[in-house]
Structure 1
C-alpha cells in the first residue's frame, strides 16, 4: 500500500455505533512506535505511551480538542468520523494531533497565485503546515510552519480562519488522527519563497479556480495532496465571498 492511500470503509459500516463483527483494521504502527522500541527510546516527535491505556489525561485532551471525540468502553479515543480501516499509531500522540495549514494566496481573480510545497515524505504538492507544538496556539503554528517550510514570514499578518477539521491524512488510524486549523493569508503579490525543513520544493501556482490549479499541477507532472483538496476549495469559496 502506498503511504498516501487510505483504506476504504463502506459508508454503512463507518459509524462506531454500527456492529461489525468481522472488522479487522490494519496495524500501521511503524517500528519506532512499537512498545519494545518505545521502552528503549522515544522519538522526539512522539509521546511515550505504547497504547491509549497509558495516557492519563483524556478528559483534558477531549476538552481541548479542535474536533470533539469520544472514548470507547476501554477508555480509548475513537476517530470522530468513524472507522478508518487502520489501527495502531503513526502520529506523535494518541487521539487528536493538532495541526495548522496556512493557505497563502497572492493577487486576485485569474491572476491569483497559491503557495504550495512539495512534501519530502510523500512527494506531493501540499499546503505548507504541520503539527502544533505543546502549548502553542494555532495562529503561532500557522506562522511558524509557513516560515520554517517556505521562508515566508507573515507573523505580522492576520489570517482569516476557515475552519477546524479532521484531515484525511495517510497516517490516521482509529485511535490517532490529525485535526487542523486552516486559514487564508492574502497578499497583494507573490513574495520570494525558499524550500526548507519538510519541503523539497516550493512554488507559486495559478489559483484562479480549482481546475486551473489542478491542471497546472498535472501538467507539471506533479500530484496535489488529496487531503488538502477540500481545504483549497473552501479557500476559493471564501475568496469568492470576500
Structure 2
C-alpha cells in the first residue's frame, strides 16, 4: 500500500466510488496560492492558480507517462485514486514528469549503488529530478545526475526500466509525479560530489534492498520510501541478466 494514501480506505480510493464526506487537506504551498502567483510565479512552477486555468489538457494527457482522467470540472485526477490531499505542491497540475538515474557499479558482492541525501526531506534517494520544459527524459537523466553528483554519464547508454507513478510526498489528488527510471552500469565506482539539491552523495552496497537499507540505517540515515520500488526493479533486472565482464 502507498505510504501516502494509507489513510484512505481501500474501498474508497477509486474515483468511481461516491464519497460525499471526503474532505482532503489542502497542501498548496504558500508560493503557489493564487494571491502569491498574482505577484510572482516561481521559475519551477506554472502560473495557473487552478487546473481550469490550464488550456493544454489534451496535449498533457496524450504525452503522459501514466494515463489519467479529468473530472467534471476539468481537473486532473490522480491515476491511483484519492490521496487525502488536494491543491498543488508541485510545479504543474496533473502529471509532473521526472527522471531517476540508478547508477550501479561492480558485480556480485562488490556491487554498489549511488544515492544522494536530498536537501528537502533529508533522506537517501536516487539522484533524479523533474524534466524541464522541452527536455527529453534521457537528457534529464544525464543532467540531474551531473548536477547532483558531478558524475557525467552522457556517453553511456542506460537501460530504461519503466515509467511509473512515484509515491512523492508532495502529491495530491490533482498533482503527482511519474518517473522514467533508468539503470546505468559501471565496472567500478567513480568519484561523486554532492551539489545542487543534494547534501551528500554516497555509494552503498547493493546486493539486495535489505542490504542497502541496513547499510543506510547503519549510517544513521533513511532510505526514501518512494524510491524503494524503483531500486527493487533495478535489482530484479540485474538478477535476470548475466554480469558484465
TM-score, normalization: structure 2? 0.96
CA RMSD of aligned residues (A): 1.0
Separation of aligned partners in 1, 2:92 and 2:6: 21
**Who is 1:39 aligned against?**
38
Separation of aligned partners in 2, 1:64 and 1:172: 19
Separation of aligned partners in 1, 2:93 and 2:66: 14
**Who is 2:158 aligned against?**
159
Q: Is residue 26 of structure 2 the alignment partner of residue 50 of structure 1?
A: no
Cα deviation digits, residues 126-160 of structure 1 (max 9, x gap): 00000000011110000000000000000110000
Task: After the TM superposition, list the runs of 4 or more consecutive aligned residues in structure 1 that deviate by more than 4 angstroms.
Answer: 4-7
**Who is 1:122 aligned against?**
121
Q: Tell me, what secondary structure is at the counterpart of 1:213? A: helix
TM-score, normalization: structure 1? 0.97
Q: List alignment gaps of at least 5 residues for structure 1.
A: none
Separation of aligned partners in 1, 2:66 and 2:100: 15
**Who is 1:18 aligned against?**
17
**Who is 2:170 aligned against?**
171
Separation of aligned partners in 2, 1:210 and 1:177: 25
Separation of aligned partners in 2, 1:75 and 1:91: 18
Q: Tell me, what secondary structure is at the counterpart of 2:38? A: helix
**Who is 1:147 aligned against?**
146
